[in-house]
Amino acid sequence: MAYSRRMVERARALRGAGLTVMEITEILGGPGKTSVWRWIRDVRKPAGRAGGGMNLPRLVGDGPDYPDIDPEDKDALIERLRLENAVLRAVQDVLKAESLDGMSNREKTLVIDRLRPAGKWSLRELTGFLRISRSSYDYQRRAIARPDRLAPLRDVVRRVFLEDGDGARGYRFVVRRLRELDDPVRVSEKVVRRIMREEGLVPRWMRRRAGAYSSYGGEVTPAPPNLVRRDFRSALPNFLWLTDITEFRLPTGRKVYLSAIRDCFDSSVVAWRAGEHPDADLANSTLSDACSRLAPGERPVIHSDRGVHYRWPGWISICERNGLVRSMSAKGCSPDNAAMEGFFGLLKKEFFHGRDWSGWSPGEFIEALGAWIGRFNSERASDALGGATPDDYRSSLGDWSGYDELDT
């Protein structure tokens, strides 16, 4: 995720104030542990560590950049950062963005109204922080409360789309039909597209064909932000996990689904399950298996696509119970989980494609699949790991725990 320089400086200021990475992550809210760790580290090669060829980070501090706050007043600094973090969260809810730059007064008003019910900050504090006058705030509140001027047009667009176009025609047809009505309506294509998008009026031919497998099941629960932003590097084990489900079609017509979780530290598969149904149990059991391997204090970021498996209460409950931080790709954007997609591509190229699976039962196939994953972790050398296998690379850590290092 592209965070502002001010947020990076806040993280460094908090570290300079003596807070741990976990505490900084909790205060800032938006960034994950991996991002915070990268901001405050200075990579060097320490002496006397197990696996001496591995680069380990050391922490550096930086002073706060608030001239009105005493650098020694940690409580005041933390309270200011909590206010800024709350504003950024509200901005993300309103704008789906992380920056305050370029916000309109209307958008600032929406942010303030989202924060006021919390009762933690006065209206004066919020308007001052967002740099909007009280009179402008009051004006925008009245403007927002006015009725939707497009409401009558929405009803006409919906009727034309559903009745005249039978739900199969696009915005150009709707615009043309509006102009052909007994009482013609002249409106731009841009406005019609906006109304159709907001009303969910999608032509049938644009919808996903029936029968095609997709894990996406609608916005079942609110989606967490994308904390990874296609940066799949991790300096520590069990810091950033990726997960997804893929499908195998056997010649018999039966299908096998694989749910897997990978660790970005060494690309290893930390847990997997396979079955004939891509249901919640498949995803949940995989996550439970992975969490059972965590050491005390390890709370990875778990990144997934927007599949319904990762939106159901069971999955969310497992994440909360184990302290995992959820992250999700943008809707329909497979590059946001490219490292996991790449692993599935490698698996199918080396294991599945080009082999005759005639006569194989799902159970036999799953057994062979598990054997390949085991060899991937223990036998397949990787150039990205300096020629080591994932198991060998991880064992080079010895007994060192990155989380212990962060808290010292």
- Do 109 and 135 fall within a single domain? yes
Q: Are residues 127 and 248 in the same domain?
A: no
Query: Does residue 220 carry a pLDDT above 60?
Result: no
Answer yes or no: do 253 and 372 share one domain: yes
What is the pLDDT at residue 30? Answer: 65
What's CA 200's distance to the chain center, in Å? 24
Q: Which residues contact 155 (CB under 8 A, 6 or more apart)?
A: none
- Is the predicted pLDDT of residue 201 greater than 70, yes or no? yes
254 & 358 share domain:
yes
Rg (CA), the chain: 26
Nearest Cα neighbor of 298 from 234, 244, 245 is 234
User: Does residue 299 fall inside a structural domain?
Assistant: yes
CA atoms 112, 118, 122, 128: torsion sign: negative
Regarding whether 16 and 69 lie in a shared domain, the answer is yes
| 396: three-class secondary structure by DSSP | coil
**Does a structural domain hold residue 217?**
no
b/e sequence 54-73, b meaning 16+ C-beta within 10 Å = eebbebeebebebeebeeee
Q: Are 187 and 287 found together in one domain?
A: no
Total structural domains within the chain: 3
User: Helix 171-180 vs helix 189-199: angle between axes, to the nearest 10 degrees?
Assistant: 120
On whether both 337 and 263 belong to a single domain, the answer is yes
Q: Which residues lie below 8 Å from residue 368, measured CB to CB, with a gap of 6+?
A: 351, 360
Whether residue 233 lies inside any domain: the answer is: no
Residue 218 domain-assigned (yes or no): no
pLDDT score, position 18: 64
Arithmetic mean of pLDDT, 146-159: 85
Same domain, 164 and 135: no
Distance CA 408, CA 405 (A): 5
Task: Average the pLDDT over 77-83 and give the result.
Answer: 74
**At residue 67, does pLDDT exceed 90?**
no
For the entire predicted model, the pTM comes to 0.47
Residues 181 and 259 in one domain: no
- In this structure, the number of other CB atoms found within 10 A of the CB of residue 105 comes to 16
* pLDDT number for residue 105: 83
Range of the domain at 141: 5-145
Q: Are 393 and 248 found together in one domain?
A: yes
